[in-house]
Chains A and B, each alone.
Chain A
Amino acid sequence: MIRSIVSALAAAACVAAAAIVSPAPPCAAQQLDVQEFTLDNGMKFLLYPRTEEPNIIAAGWLAKVGSVNERPGITGISHFFEHMMFKGTNTIGTKDAAKDKEFRAKQKAVRDELMKLQLGEQYKRYKAGEIDDPWNPANDTPKMRELRGELAKLMREQLDITQKNEFDRVYTSMGASGMNAFTSEDVTFYFINVPANKFELWAWMESDRLTNSVFREFYAERDVVHEERRLRTESTPTGVFQEQFEAMFWMSSPYHWPVIGWTSDLNSYTMEQAADYYDIYYRPNNLVGVIVGDFRPEEIKPLISRYFSRLERGPREVPPVVTLEMPQMAEQRMNAEGDFQPQIEVRYKAVPFRHADSYPLEVMAQVLNGRTGRLYKTMIDGKKIASSARASLDIRKYGGAFSFEAETKGEASPADLENAWYEELARLQKEPVPEQELQKVKNQFAANTYRRLTSNFFIMVQLGMAENMGGWQELNDGPRKIQAVTAADVQRVANRYFDRKNRSVATYVRASGTDSKEDPELAKLGETMGPMVKQGIKRQLAQLAKETDAGKLRQGLAQMEERKAQAPAQMQPVLEYMAKKVQERIAELEKSGKGGGQ
């Protein structure tokens, strides 16, 4: 049942705004009436009956584990688990469970031997510079090749008794749809839609894979994950750079490594590591089920009990995430070159889930966003230096980040966008956001509170995500806290989190040679000095083109000569180039009769 209540605070704010402009939306906060239900083994369920989509139930469960729980050597294993969980159990996915077990044991033995050589001999050869990549099968020693052949043979033979993708087939043939899962830094979430009469099917299938999983195709599946990595990270214009930026941004926090994992780790997970991980994180005391849709709680609770009570509480407590992000002591920068629109990201360490400052930061991002937001008005409409610009707050379980991202327009450079951003920021730091602008943003939050509650599936995902980070109640509490944010709050957080040494900057420019109109001399400088220097020169050239006072330029030229005498040798070509350009500009102005100074 959904009931709506009007937050007194929000209502007061609306009345105030209504006096200024036309009728404001009612700032009501939607309340979800979720039933909690916890089994003796510690598995918690969130039930939210909803009949607006008749005959359908969105059902999911999450493991409170993601890449943040990993360590070097096994990065990406949470995501790899997500793949493994669809490979079946002793019941689902095989024609002969006993034989299947034998195959797995044999494969493990061969694979362990291979891995010993891989991490021993091959790593040694790699470190000695004898081979360029210890993981490339082309560099295999004869013994390794033999073992790899043996492993491949065992995997082929196992396929004969494997019921491929049976897990999916059972669901599909009974009318379930949209089966999938995702892994993030903080959570692994498995979900599906089932017809309303088949909730028990979900209970059977999910409790089976949580008690009975065997990690079938443990070695073959990592090829698929490698392809996923190539697809998502390596074949997209900015994928590899974003990965590098993320790793630079988070220094000590385990958010440092990518969810999909580093390549070497992905190659080397062992069955023991997997079993160990499973024993800690895939136990009922670390799991939450979320059910949204057309059901009666008293109907499904007995089924949940019957099926999920067979899960056994873990032998160990789930270890807490200990490592906090260290305070950043200096600005960090990354300059990427490639095939993409020149763009920039300026990112700041912010706050985790439910931190009191997360609400004003959220409001601040919204003040900046949208077609009536500040970024659009100043950078896209006003200065016309950006083709897109946005601010975002990335809230995670153990930390957060606030980002400004924009793409250039015309001749503008990432540096222009960066400067324009600092101007915007300074405005937020100096002046409180005007009442009407703040109210506009709050009205949008209020309406969105309704909009996000209009689909079983998205309600399920939001409940699960909030519960994983600290409590599903945030879905009810958050909107009220947003409505309570004041202009002073926004100004305070703008001053608190956005200083220079707390920021990391990524600039993206087209690889040299892709800009056809460029002065060849400048292109050459770019090659020797790097893209940032080149962008800096371009910026100065743009200013130079606007300068109409030849006298001022002559003064500047004299200063440049002085500086040139003290500048290090590698900067000489840049200064010479600039001096030449200034002289050219002076000559141009003199020719057009503007050379007379004042």
Chain B
Amino acid sequence: MIGSVRRVAVGLVAAVSLSGAWGASARPASSDIPARPEKIEFRPLRFEPPKAADFRSVLSTGTPVYMAQSKEVPLVTVIFTFRGGSYLNPKDKLGLASMTGALMRRGGTVSVPAQDLDEKFDFLAAQVNTSIGEASATASINCLKSNFDEAFGLFVDMVRNPGFQSDKTEVYRAEVLEQMKQRNDNADGLLNREWSRLLYGEDHFESAVPTKAMVESITQADMQAFHRRIFHPGNLIIGVVGDFEPADMKARLEKALSGWAAGEKIPLPPAPTHELKPGVYAVEKDIPQGKVYIGMRGLKRGDPDEIAIDVMNDILGGGGFTSRIMNRVRTEGGLAYSAGSRFSFGPYYPGEFRALFQSKSSTVALAAKYVFDEVAAIQSKPVSAEELETAKNQFIDTFPRRFESKRGIVSTFIDDEWTGRPADWWATYRDKVRAVTAEDVQRVAKKHLDPAKMAFLIVGRWDEIAKGDVDGKASMKEFFGGQVTKLPLRDPMTQQPLPAKQ
């Protein structure tokens, strides 16, 4: 228990430590404890973000390299990143990008059989990964400094001359098909797939879903061609982190890339053309909760409102327990375990706004009502000074964390270079946050959020969900005129709609 005596003493201590040097001697080890945490005096923390130029160099192939040394443990990490991804898939061979990415690691090299390569990497205790995602491809190695040369040599051979060994391809293909069978098992998977379709339309790569026939049609030649197109030094940025000497490392990288010809330039990912149709959508799934996404198209990076929107969304639903949606849906309502929102800025085309929660069937409508209430509230009234300050401080004071690890620094700069982020973005970031006002927050909420233009997607037991809660506080009749579009379950292997179960 803290007695009132201690509380009285607090103001005094704070005053003393203002003038004195911070440390044990300035503050005697008495029982003085401030009444509130805001009254603690903290020494200032100075932090200037690192500059990309200090980490960047260029190889003779024109390939940029970001290097950050760390001698804490005798490990070295090298990351090769390439532009390109599933947006380059032929329409009838969706799944080619990810299969190529997986088989580069699993299928050996032209001269080393897959089994031998795996055994060597494992014996050397090297962690090697390759993957091709939606918009970028990565090959990375993390290994002990002591055997770097051997492990890295194998790694470079794998990246340059992958074998795509056929038996390993078949094992992987079978795995993919087994995964495919499970597509309708998990409610979150259903939710994400249907959400992408609503937002991006059927024919954009973000919503594209490979079928069994497509996966079966992918050949070794397909993978070789896909690999050749993306993996070359003209389409590469390298990151190195760990226990190495920069000059020495640069020489090794030069050697690794020598004789590797640059290929053609890769186009940027295409923007979606689909127009989202607002309304309620439901997928039937026998689970005791309704899983919900509510949202609409967002904005592209570099929008003048970007930072103000970050602050607005933090207050609305992005800030975890300090956000309004979490407060209303979870803390006050007890209606969900997780609830919140995100507003994303796409590097190549607009991202999305999405509020989400999951609640027992009967209270899905009520929780959704709270979400829409909060969207309306942040549009109609300025946020409080306290909320604004909490959100802004959060961005400003956690800013150093982006650069806390060497790996984080290098990853940030590589991403910035690929996506063309302005050079002074981080240097002025905190000032941009400081400049956001309550009026800005209200203005961007009005301008960029529009409930009438949103899609409201639910996976769960529709009949229970539609009825609403026992007390009659909300039902699904309240949204979009009570209309619902039932989305069919799709055959997991063909993605053709299945007849509804009776």
If A2-B72, A172-B390 are given as contacts, then 17 extra A-B residue pairs at C-beta distance below 8 Å, sorted by A number, are: A24-B124, A30-B73, A55-B47, A55-B400, A55-B404, A56-B404, A172-B321, A172-B394, A201-B37, A204-B33, A204-B37, A221-B334, A234-B287, A235-B291, A302-B24, A340-B182, A454-B72
Q: Within 8 Å CB of B390, what residues of A?
A: 169, 172-173
Interface residue stretch chosen among A39-47, A319-327, A403-411: A403-411
Tell me, in angstroms, the Cα distance from A172 to B398 when the chains sit together: 9
| B182 (CB) vs chain A CBs: closest residue | A341
Q: Are A371 and B118 in contact (CB under 8 A)?
A: yes
Contact with B along A11-37 (1 / 0, CB 8 A): 000000000011111101010000000
Neighbouring A residues of B44 by C-beta, 8 Å:
197
Q: Which residue of chain A is the closest to B146 with respect to CB atoms?
A: A26
Interface size on B, residues (CB 8 A): 87
**Are A164 and B327 within 8 A (Cβ)?**
yes
- Closest partner residue, chain B, to A436 (CB atom): B123
Interface residues of A in 284-315 (CB under 8 A from B): 298-299, 302, 305-307, 310
Q: Could you tell me if A21 and B123 are in contact, using CB atoms closer than 8 angstroms?
A: yes
Which residues A199-216 have CB closer than 8 A to chain B?
200-201, 204-205, 208, 211-212
Q: Tell me whether A137 is interfacial, beta carbon within 8 Å.
A: yes
Chain B residue contacts of A439, Cβ below 8 A: 123
CB contacts (< 8 Å) of B33 on chain A: these are: 204, 306-307, 310
Given the known A-B contacts A371-B122, A447-B75, are A310 and B37 also in contact in the complex, defined by CB atoms under 8 Å? no
List 23 A-B pairs, Cβ < 8 Å. Answer: A25-B146, A26-B74, A54-B400, A165-B326, A169-B322, A170-B37, A172-B320, A172-B390, A172-B394, A175-B394, A195-B45, A195-B400, A220-B332, A227-B334, A230-B358, A231-B358, A310-B31, A341-B178, A341-B181, A341-B182, A384-B174, A453-B73, A455-B405
Q: How far is the CA of A226 from the CA of B394 in the complex (A)?
A: 30
Contacts of B179 in A (CB 8 A): 387
Chain A residue, CB-CB nearest to B396: A175
A408 near B178 (CB under 8 angstroms)?
yes
Indicate whether B29 reaches chain A with its CB closer than 8 angstroms: yes
Residues in chain A within 8 A of chain B (CB atoms):
2, 4, 21-26, 28, 30, 52-56, 86, 91-92, 137-138, 159, 164-165, 168-170, 172-177, 193, 195-198, 200-201, 204-205, 208, 211-212, 217, 220-228, 230-231, 234-237, 298-299, 302, 305-307, 310, 339-341, 370-372, 380-381, 384, 387-388, 407-410, 436, 439-440, 443-444, 446-448, 450-451, 453-455
Q: Which of B119, B126, B321 has the most CB of A within 10 A?
A: B321
How far is B2's CA from A92's CA once the two chains are assembled, in angstroms?
Answer: 14
- Min CB distance A289 to B, Å, is 17
B286, closest chain A residue (CB): A339
Q: What B residues does A4 contact at CB under 8 A?
A: 74
Q: With A and B bound together, what is the CA distance between A170 and B386 in angstroms?
A: 11
- A204 & B337 in contact (Cβ 8 Å cutoff): no
CB of A141 to closest CB in B, whole Å = 15
Contact B404 A54 (CB under 8 A): yes
**Selected contact of A200 from candidates B42, B45, B337, B470, CB within 8 Å:** B42
| Set of chain B residues within 8 Å of A339, measured between Cβ atoms | 184-185
CB pair B335–A443 under 8 Å, yes or no, is no
Is A204's CB under 8 angstroms from B73's CB? no
Contact B331 A177 (CB under 8 A): no
Least Cβ distance of A6 to chain B in Å? 12
User: Beta-carbon contacts of B23-59 to A below 8 Å, as 1s and 0s?
Assistant: 1100001111111111010111101000000000000
Question: With A340-B185, A371-B118, A451-B142 given, is the CB distance from A223 to B73 under 8 Å?
Answer: no
Chain B residues near A (Cβ < 8 Å): 1-2, 23-24, 29-38, 40, 42-45, 47, 70, 72-75, 106, 118-120, 122-127, 142-144, 146-147, 150, 167, 171, 174-175, 178-179, 181-182, 184-187, 287-289, 291, 319-322, 326-327, 330-338, 358-360, 389-390, 393-394, 396-398, 400-401, 404-405, 470
CA distance A371 to B179 in the complex (A): 18
B1 nearest CB neighbor, chain A only: A211
Q: Say whether A197 contacts B29, CB under 8 Å.
A: no
Flag if B337 contacts A174 (CB, 8 Å).
Answer: no
A49 to B: closest C-beta gap in Å? 13
CA distance A453 to B75 in the complex (A): 11
